[in-house]
Structure 1
Amino acid sequence: MLPSVTFLDLETTGATPLRDRITEIALVRFDNGVETLRWQTLVNPQQPIPPFIQSLTGINDAMVADAPLFAEVADKLLAFLEGSVLAAHNVRFDHGFLKSEFKRLNITLRQQVLCTVKLSRLLYPQHYSHGIDAIVARHQITGLARHRAMGDVEAILIMLNDARRDLGAEVVQAAALKLMAAPTLPPHIDASLVGELPEAPGVYLFYGENDLPLYIGKSVNVRARVLSHFSSDHASSKEMRMTQEMKRFEWIPAAGEFSALLLESRLVKERMPIYNRQLRRERQLCSWQLVAGAQPIVRLVNEDEIDPSQMAHLFGTFRSKRQAVETLRKIADLSHLCAKTLGLETGRDGPCFVYQLKRCKGVCCGQESAEMHALRVQQALMAHKLKAWPYRGKIGIEEYNLENDLRQIHVFEHWVYVGVAVDNESLLALREQKTALKFDLDSYKLLLKMLSQKKTRVLDLAG
């Protein structure tokens, strides 16, 4: 399939590489299609194995008590993997645990990887599920120790043997090579750094000459998104120019998509990267405010004048005064409102011009009461009304990511983003912090969307 490939499986104490540990390792190595090595060992995880994991794998604390520590098998494992592609079912899981274990020993693991889940999908696209259990059922595999490391490795080997027999060795090899194909990196980009990119949420930053910020992006899979920028099939000439100008990149982990979106929005505004024209575009945000008992009955307020605690009296978020006025004219025309009372027509005595066209009900000449017209204005603007803050005070939006074991709580007050907490101490500090409430449209829209999702966990911090 490949010149050298090592099929590996791990059993662990849990699902989080930064917190849980390995309890068993099994691998089978092939060189030029011939099996050259088969090895397995229990590993003392130096922490209790949870009862659920014990019942799932059959590995208990007594079995690993006298097993070697990972540090004692690390050199042997590195030798077994040297010069070989690491293949595993959901390779992110196994590779993540290995990287964490080696990192504890101050060793950076850099290994080419192949995901056999993705390989199964390519070889058998007609099937919906490609987990180990599904493969065992699909290929009628019996007699293997399921949920033990070597048993799971052997299940994958049987699946690949069946694929060679049913589809042909060339098809299997082509599918593996397709998954292994990597974008061509510019010569000045450190390939080893690319290998460290996480398959988890985060924000990435591209820099040009003299550390000039070129582009800031976000993704739920930073590795996949960054590598897509180096694809030979560039979506635009702008993308090609950007990757040619880039001298280095970095990334910041996030606990989820919401966390990444907030961070991206903030960093773009702070650093003004030249290729983020959409988010960094300078604008004069404004909104209509209804003013009771005054004429004109509405006034335009700009972003600096918006009081987030008074959002219920604001209508619409407009990128310019021109856009705001055009929208108000359309609303007035559809609802037969008075252009003069709205301030859209000035310097004219008597009835407004649209009254003569029978498009105004006559508040400007006593034919309609000011109270009734004000009520109709409010009703006409209702579709553009900004949402009032529905909480007593500050709230927290919590996200947790299993891949990087990162928990973030984003604190808001009256739609204004206060900051992010990563522990109880920083959360308490943000809860007590006095905040200057400066409205930001991007944060408002992101939070509004997040609150509309049932799965969102909202913490009441006002108590």
Structure 2
Amino acid sequence: MNYAIVDIETTGGYAARNRICEIAIIIHDGEKVVKEYQSLINPERSIPIGVQAIHGISDTMVADAPKFYEEAKTILELLEGNIFVAHSVNFDYSFVKAAFSDLGYNLNCKKLCTVRLSRKILPGYKSYSLGNLCEQRGIRIQDRHRAYGDALATAELFTQLVQHDEQQIIEKSLKRNASIVNIPDNLDKKEYDQLPEKAGVYYFLNKKHQIIYVGKAKNIKKRITSHFGGSKTEVAKQAFQQEIYHIDYLETGNELIALLHESYEIRKNWPRYNRAQKNNNPGYCIFIYEDRSGYKRLQIGRKQGGMKTLIRFTNHATAFHFLTTTSRKLNICPKLAGYQNSTGACFDYQVGTCEGACVGEESPETHNDKIAQFIDACDEEKRDYILIGAGRSQDEKTIVMVENGTYLGYGFFEESETVNDWEGLKNLIQRFPDNPEVYRILASDSATKGNKKVKKDKWKTEVGS
């Protein structure tokens, strides 16, 4: 078993929006270094000045360097079949994996982190940064914060970790990382192996290629692995897995789009093993109607045809909160606002806080002016906006559109794409039906985290014109 000890330098701190500008790989056989590789990489974008100050790699230095795809074959030959080792391994691995993913290849290596290993094998240090560990262990780093110098130092540190690993921490870490995955008997393992580690929607299909389950995930492969992990002793789990013959998936770029598309697919296909979201609950609305005396009234109810709807909500509680809060600010009679029932005057009139629309003391004209202001508040609540998030590649973004309070759908666009007006923006959208679950998703901070909300009058500064 060989170890590929990797260090990279990048254009920024996270893989979704940045690229590799230098890479070094040291092949270690568990005792010594047996092969070395290093190269500057043209990241095909400018390196920020602040980042250049850290590693010293400038745009000029990488201008004539090979692009990643030109070195990909060599890099893959060094990584495949070996254990991917790095100091804070998830950082380096995420960039390398993303670079291969952009080329359409799903890199899948076992990983070891020398930070975690050092904490267990060499306990007692105040800091486990590479610089501090090397200073404490007598390891000289040549060219600090350059890929080859840091990779060579990490290789020497790894040699010491192997030598001092009396409790077989490295072996145990590899076994722990290789969690049990019980691939369903009828599923071709190649389909599982090629699953992407990206956000999206996944589908389990039966023998007839019918969808039996739809799910969403930040990481498709990791989520599907959790379905197959551990014991298969449960009868229900056995029956479910026996029906899985194929896996399909749709990359969405981010979790919000995955949630929205999962909701659509469940309602479209009604998969056998999906229990959540299978109801046709139409949600709640605030309606407006006029009584025989000319007073306009409000009422909460289920969405239904033939009634003029002012605004929709996912549940009764949020509808009631909006109705009571807004109508109280406008001093609308609670009885005519629809949240107090009485045969005569409302309770508020009896205590002197209602102006008397419920008993005819407030004229229909004055009362209806307040209702008009309530309608304006509904329109403000329903304002047009878009949500912009990460796309399926580094140069792509996603867009979710809401117009007049109604979810229209979502789409993808390149950052370099030119859009001239709101209608042009709508042309980027694939239309999807709305439902109460969609509005719950759009109202959730956890679901929309990482997506930027932009009002209609501000969209050009975000999308471009």
Is 1:409 the counterpart of 2:407? The answer is: no
CA displacement, residues 163-215 of structure 1 (integer Å, 9 cap, x when unaligned): 55666251222122211335132244344443443333222222112221111
Alpha-carbon shift at residue 47 of structure 1 (Å): 3.9
Is 1:441 the counterpart of 2:441? The answer is: no
Alpha-carbon shift at residue 408 of structure 1 (Å): 0.9
In 2: Cα distance, 1:453 partner to 1:422 partner: 16
Give the paired residue count. 415
Secondary structure of 2:263's match?
Answer: helix
In 2: Cα distance, 1:289 partner to 1:211 partner: 44
In 1: Cα distance, 2:162 partner to 2:233 partner: 36
Question: Which residues of 2 match residues 12-411 of structure 1 at below 5 A?
Answer: 12-14=10-12, 22-31=20-29, 33-45=30-42, 47=44, 50=47, 51-61=49-59, 63-64=61-62, 73-89=71-87, 91=89, 94-95=92-93, 97-98=95-96, 108=105, 110-116=107-113, 119-120=116-117, 123=120, 132=130, 143-161=141-159, 163-164=161-162, 168-233=166-231, 237-283=235-281, 285-286=283-284, 289=287, 293=291, 301-305=301-305, 310-311=310-311, 317=315, 371=358, 388-390=378-380, 393-400=383-390, 406-411=396-401
Contact 1:410 1:420 in 2 (8 A): yes
In 2: Cα distance, 1:232 partner to 1:42 partner: 41
CA displacement, residues 10-43 of structure 1 (integer Å, 9 cap, x when unaligned): 2344567688654433222233x23352313223
With normalisation by structure 1, the TM-score equals 0.69
In 1: Cα distance, 2:285 partner to 2:200 partner: 33
Alpha-carbon shift at residue 45 of structure 1 (Å): 1.6
Could you say if the C-alpha distance between residues 182 and 390 of structure 1 is closer, same or farther in structure 2, counting changes exceeding 3 Å?
A: farther
Contact 1:145 1:152 in 2 (8 A): yes
Contact 1:203 1:219 in 2 (8 A): yes
CA displacement, residues 379-424 of structure 1 (integer Å, 9 cap, x when unaligned): xxxxxxxx93535742101112697554112111243211223225
Could you say if the C-alpha distance between residues 372 and 191 of structure 1 is closer, same or farther in structure 2, counting changes exceeding 3 Å?
A: farther
Structure 2 unmatched ranges of 5 or more: 321-333, 351-355, 363-376, 459-465
In 1: Cα distance, 2:45 partner to 2:193 partner: 32
CA displacement, residues 189-246 of structure 1 (integer Å, 9 cap, x when unaligned): 3444434433332222221122211111112222221111111246965444333211
Could you say if the C-alpha distance between residues 254 and 146 of structure 1 is closer, same or farther in structure 2, counting changes exceeding 3 Å?
A: farther
Contact 2:285 2:310 in 1 (8 A): no
Contact 1:7 1:86 in 2 (8 A): yes
Could you say if the C-alpha distance between residues 177 and 131 of structure 1 is closer, same or farther in structure 2, counting changes exceeding 3 Å?
A: farther
Alpha-carbon shift at residue 114 of structure 1 (Å): 0.6
Contact 1:289 1:301 in 2 (8 A): yes
Secondary structure of 1:209's match?
Answer: coil
In 1: Cα distance, 2:171 partner to 2:178 partner: 10
In 2: Cα distance, 1:308 partner to 1:159 partner: 71
Question: Which AA in structure 2 matches 1:448?
Answer: A
Deviates more, 1:118-127 or 1:107-116: 118-127
With normalisation by structure 2, the TM-score equals 0.68
Contact 1:89 1:116 in 2 (8 A): yes
Deviates more, 1:72-81 or 1:264-273: 72-81
Secondary structure of 2:276's match?
Answer: helix
CA displacement, residues 63-86 of structure 1 (integer Å, 9 cap, x when unaligned): 456656656655544443353223
Contact 2:212 2:272 in 1 (8 A): yes
CA displacement, residues 413-460 of structure 1 (integer Å, 9 cap, x when unaligned): 243211223225678446557999976211222222249989762212
In 2: Cα distance, 1:38 partner to 1:415 partner: 60
Secondary structure of 1:59's match?
Answer: coil
CA displacement, residues 118-175 of structure 1 (integer Å, 9 cap, x when unaligned): 8449848999987656766886865343321133324444554555566625122212
In 2: Cα distance, 1:193 partner to 1:243 partner: 15
Could you say if the C-alpha distance between residues 362 and 17 of structure 1 is closer, same or farther in structure 2, counting changes exceeding 3 Å?
A: closer
Identity of aligned residues (%): 21
Question: Which AA in structure 1 matches 2:82?
Answer: S
In 2: Cα distance, 1:144 partner to 1:419 partner: 53
In 2: Cα distance, 1:12 partner to 1:54 partner: 9
Deviates more, 1:447-456 or 1:258-267: 447-456
Aligned to 2:327: none
In 1: Cα distance, 2:432 partner to 2:74 partner: 58
Structure 1 unmatched ranges of 5 or more: 325-336, 346-350, 353-359, 364-368, 376-386
Could you say if the C-alpha distance between residues 440 and 137 of structure 1 is closer, same or farther in structure 2, counting changes exceeding 3 Å?
A: farther
Is 1:422 the counterpart of 2:396? The answer is: no
Deviates more, 1:225-234 or 1:429-438: 429-438
Could you say if the C-alpha distance between residues 16 and 291 of structure 1 is closer, same or farther in structure 2, counting changes exceeding 3 Å?
A: same
When the two chains are superposed, the root-mean-square deviation of aligned CA atoms in Å is 5.1
Aligned to 2:452: 457
Aligned to 1:10: 8
